[in-house]
Amino acid sequence: MAGLLAAPVLVPTSGAFAQDAGGKSAAPSPVVVELFTSQGCASCPNADRLMTQLADRPDVLPLALHVDYWDYLGWKDTLADPQYTRRQKAYARARGTRMIYTPQMVVSGTGFVKGSHPMQLAEYIDIMQNRAPEYQMAVSAIGEGRYRVVAHALSGAKTGPMVVQLVHYTPSKTVDILRGENAGSQITYVNVVTQWAPVAEWDGQADMSVEIDAGQDQPGAVLLQRQGFGAIEAAARLPE
């Protein structure tokens, strides 16, 4: 997946980071909600439906990552990728545990929701929306399939190494599940992740500008996450 991307170039930006490259003020960062799910998990459909309630919210970016470790139950998840299992395991290691499960939601890299709990999820989203941002990021189109990402640490930010990540997703996918725990179900999944690739590293200090190539002709977003699977400090959808 990462091989589809051109090598990024980091260069310092000049002046204050008040506007994006198109001259518009940077939009507030949406709260990223990662759902680790599986078509073979009987407990997952409620969480999958909860994600559909978030899909049209501009202030939230829900992302469905289908894992493959339930495939042995009689149904191979048609949307799964071992990469997303590895990502979930990395979150577990960062928290000092080996346990992974579905469904699990991760909010902005720091809030963890087990199962489908709308009130707990709403609480985490509210917390993330009301915290003082430490970083600002904007993405602008600079050509067909090419984007410029600029980022800036705000006053008082806790600086540190960051990973710039490019994500693509399918907005909606309906699947007929024929076997396994959810046999006979037809489930619609939203914002199904089809690519998740690091495109640059940043020290989080000097202003940053990165030019990237889109790896897929799909909706997408750029995330700024602390190294070691820490907090997602900023996110921006790719402009259409």
For residue 79, the domain's CATH number is 3.40.30.10
Residue 149 predicted with pLDDT over 80: yes
Residues 44, 65: Cα–Cα separation, whole Å: 12
Residue 26 pLDDT: 59
Contact predicate 193/166, CB 8 Å: no
* pLDDT (tens digit per residue) in 63-110: 999 999 999 999 999 999 999 999 999 999 999 999 999 999 999 999
Tell me the pLDDT of the chain averaged across its residues: 90
Residue 217 pLDDT: 87
Residues 87, 119: Cα–Cα separation, whole Å: 25
Note down the domain range covering 194. Answer: 2-237
Q: Is 144 helix (H, G, I), strand (E, B) or coil?
A: coil
Q: How many CB atoms lie within 10 A of CB 126?
A: 11
Supply the pTM of this predicted model. Answer: 0.90
Residue among 140, 174, 132, 177 nearest 156 (CA): 132
Residues 201, 227: Cα–Cα separation, whole Å: 9
User: 224 forms bridges with which residues in the sheet?
Assistant: 164, 234
Residue 191 pLDDT: 98
Q: How far is CA 2 from CA 30, 195, 197, in A?
A: 24, 8, 5
CA angle, 94 then 55 then 165, to 5°:
40
Mean pLDDT score, 101-129? 96
More confident residue, 4 or 76: 76
Q: What is the CA radius of gyration of the chain?
A: 18
Residue 239 predicted with pLDDT over 60: yes
> 106 exposed, middle or buried (CB, 10 Å; 0-12, 13-18, 19+)?
buried
Q: How many CB atoms lie within 10 A of CB 158?
A: 11
User: 104 forms bridges with which residues in the sheet?
Assistant: 36, 114
Q: Is 212 helix (H, G, I), strand (E, B) or coil?
A: strand
Residue 20 pLDDT: 44
* pLDDT (tens digit per residue) in 14-61: 444 444 444 444 578 999 999 999 999 999 999 999 999 999 999 999
Q: Domains in the chain: how many in total?
A: 1
Task: Determine what percent of the chain is predicted with pLDDT higher than 70.
Answer: 89
* pLDDT (tens digit per residue) in 164-211: 999 999 999 999 999 999 999 999 999 999 999 999 999 999 999 999
